[in-house]
A and B are shown apart, each in its own frame.
Chain A
Amino acid sequence: MSINYLTPAFLIERDKDRCIDCQVCVRQCANEAHRWDEEEQRVFSEDANCVNCHRCVVMCPTRALHIKKFPLEFRNNANWTQDAMRAIYLQAETGGVLLTGMGNDRPYPIYWDHMLLNASQVTNPSIDPLREPMELKTYLGRKPDFLKIKKGKLLEDIPPQLELDVPIMFSAMSFGSISLNAHKSLAAAAKKVGTYWNTGEGGLHKDLVEHGSHTIVQVASGRFGVDADYLKTAAAIEIKIGQGAKPGIGGHLPGEKVGEEVSQTRMIPLGTDAISPAPHHDIYSIEDLRQLIYSLKEATEYQKPVIVKIAAVHNVAAIASGIVRAGADVVAIDGFRGGTGAAPLRTRDSVGIPIEFALAAVDTRLREEGIRNQVSLVVGGSIRNSSDIVKAIALGADAVYIATSALISMGCHMCQKCYTGKCNWGIATQDPQLTKRLNPEIGAERAANLLKAWAHEIEEMLGGMGINALESLRGNRLMLRGIGLTDRELNILGIKAAGE
């Protein structure tokens, strides 16, 4: 090992009384944090290689392994923290842009946790979802300004809609950033639960075409895997303008990850970097966006909703208004905590705004302009549980996108090293030795279980409020109260303080 100024981030503790030198940890760790010493006939650990993904801890048959933060204390300094210094050592050594994975992990306020939900007491009785029907059905797409009905029949066609049995979809993660087995798990789970998964910008693998009716395909600046068949196979098409983890910048899937399957699915040469430029080079204005939206609608004969996904940034309300006027059927907004397979650390941690504010601002703006019905709003960027979803819907969302939660359901332990391609859980990797660890049937079952569990919880909370259809909660901000928020924050969120 070359000498550098970095100290290990984690310490692997091996309980010698428990360890039976079975070498499971050695085989399980793609980072080579465990090593078998032939001469000494025992297992050693290389702390510096450990990323704290817990794979060995979970797989160790005798529970002999513990991972701890490396117990190296710098002299107390509230300004120069260990993280701040590590970053400088690393950049001084490499001259590189700091790269990380998953969502923003900085201790910014989490506004979901500053909002509380209402419940019925005495007046307006609550509803028991175990005995009474509850409606979570959600339709995403442009709604007409008014309906013309004659003899009980609609006189005009309703624009194309996505029908969701639960208000939760799996958001975009590309094949390349995650494994084919992860894609298979998400696709099958979406089908099971009656919702949609999203290909991300890396194309649709041929094995997943059969799930087309539950698939949202993405068109991003690199246009990977985009052809007429791809567009026609899908239930909806999403134009990716930005993502919460890295607003305003593009992406590079490193050539190492572009193997045979990824190359075919992305329709690019083997082993080349898959570069997504920061902007779409045919979109420099709202008018240009309209052109892309309509080129997609033309290519699919106006049969499919077109989603435009943007990152939550300062001026998000005005941007969303422009997107609606450009003809999008759904606007997806990704908050600054949204996950990623790889993003520059400083961008991930410092760019964008919380989804809670972005959602409230966009919903308010579209209502003020009288165009809220023309579009559905889908929000993502760290939806962690069912109450986050209920709060999002009360703030004005039609549905939510989840990705990190879905990956956690399949085994992700949030080590944030997705970009290394060495995911020991078989998710963020293309290494066949690792990807086979994620059984797509089990993955699908776990992801589907999560959605079912959340759907039950949403019904419970709705019933508690005396509401029996999710539609009645949509944009119903009276069901929210703020706690520990300033007047200004309450004002932006459009909610009252607890006690008011």
Chain B
Amino acid sequence: MSVTIDTKDIYFKELNQQIRDVLKTGVEEIILNNVNGQRYIGDGITGTQSIIINGTPGNDMAAYMDGLKLVINGNGQDAIGNTMNDGTIVIHGNAGDTLGYAMRGGEIYVHGSVGYRVGIHMKGYQEKNPVIVVGGKAGDFFAEYMAGGIQIVLGLDLSPEESIVGDYCGTGMHGGVIYLRGTVEDYQLGKEVKVLPVDQEDLELLGRYVHNYAEYFSEDYEAIISKEFIKLIPFNTRPYGNLYAKY
């Protein structure tokens, strides 16, 4: 069963209350039309239902979210999936800064590019292994303090002067793995990160998520996966282990 809400001129507080109320009735899918900057959609909600968002949702969408599937037919703004625990987000456009900050589980797919500080402090534990897949490029401070999970940047349709990631990529990284479909200069990387070629195991992992990406956005899987990827991992899990002297 599906419920449609026209969100035009509805303030976020009221809209989110409506969404929570509708989800409690057991509806499997909500379609939000005319979304125009309303914040906190899907925030703190536990469940397995879907929300289809037509328009541009506001900041902190899916913060602390636990299990929902959100599909955005439009661009996303900042702080999507903040401290997200589980669920899937598919964005048919670009997304802003701090996407997936401290994300612990679930998957986020962005068709286009993302802003600064994306995937900062992403972590995983036990069976939780969060994933971000970005089709275009990522801004500065990508995956800073990353502690777990998988982040993939595909660099599709970039012009020659564009770089797949910005500066300070992976600074303070101490867990997880980054895959880039392209190359980076040393100066773009945090000093805690090392670059490795991908092996068969990596390709299997990559294949799964790239396949999802191609499926969600109707892109050519073979064309994407056939280009060379590099892998970024931290030198160790304790980057600051030797920083201190015990007074």
Contact = CB atoms under 8 A, between A and B. Distances in A.
Interface stretch (A35-43, A52-60, A224-232, A425-433): A224-232
Contacts of A298: 12-13, 16, 39-40, 43-44, 63
Given A90-B247, A231-B64, 7 more contacts: A90-B245, A222-B121, A228-B64, A264-B125, A273-B239, A298-B13, A299-B44
Given A223-B83, A227-B64, A227-B85, A267 B125 contact: yes
Chain A CB within 10 Å, residue with most, of B12, B64, B102, B124: B64
B43 A299 contact: yes
B8 interface: no
Contacts of B63: 295, 298-299
8 contacts: A223-B101, A223-B121, A254-B238, A273-B239, A275-B121, A275-B174, A282-B101, A298-B13
Contacts of A100: 247
B47 to A, nearest CB: 10
A97 B46 CA distance: 43
Nearest to A274: B147
Q: B interface, how many residues as a size bin?
A: 35 or more
A378 to B, nearest CB: 24
B85 A255 contact: no
Nearest to A99: B244
By secondary structure, the B interface counts as loop
B64 A267 contact: no
A118 interface: no
B148 interface: yes
By secondary structure, the A interface counts as mixed
B98 A291 contact: no
B147 A268 contact: yes
Given A228-B46, A228-B85, A295-B82, A268 B66 contact: no
B194 interface: no
Given A272-B175, A282-B79, A295-B63, A99 B245 contact: yes
Nearest to A250: B145
A222 B123 CA distance: 10
B59 interface: yes
A227 B102 CA distance: 11
Contacts of B137: none
Nearest to B60: A295
Contact of A226 (B64, B240, B241, B244): B64
A231 B66 CA distance: 12
B205 interface: no
Chain A CB within 10 Å, residue with most, of B46, B141, B145: B145
Interface string B31-54: 000000001100111100000000
A228 B44 contact: yes
Contacts of B66: 227-228
B233 interface: no
Interface in A247-288: 252, 254-255, 263-264, 267-269, 271-273, 275, 277, 281-282
B117 interface: yes
Contacts of B39: 291, 294-295, 298
B57 interface: no
Contacts of B188: none
B223 interface: no
Contacts of B208: none
A100 B246 CA distance: 7
Contact of B240 (A86, A273, A299, A419): A273
A291 B64 contact: no
A96 B175 contact: no
B105 to A, nearest CB: 9
B120 interface: yes
A180 B64 CA distance: 25
Given A228-B45, A298-B40, A301-B20, A272 B147 contact: yes
A220 B101 CA distance: 12
A373 interface: no
B237 interface: yes
B1 interface: no
A222 B175 contact: no
Contacts of B40: 294-295, 298
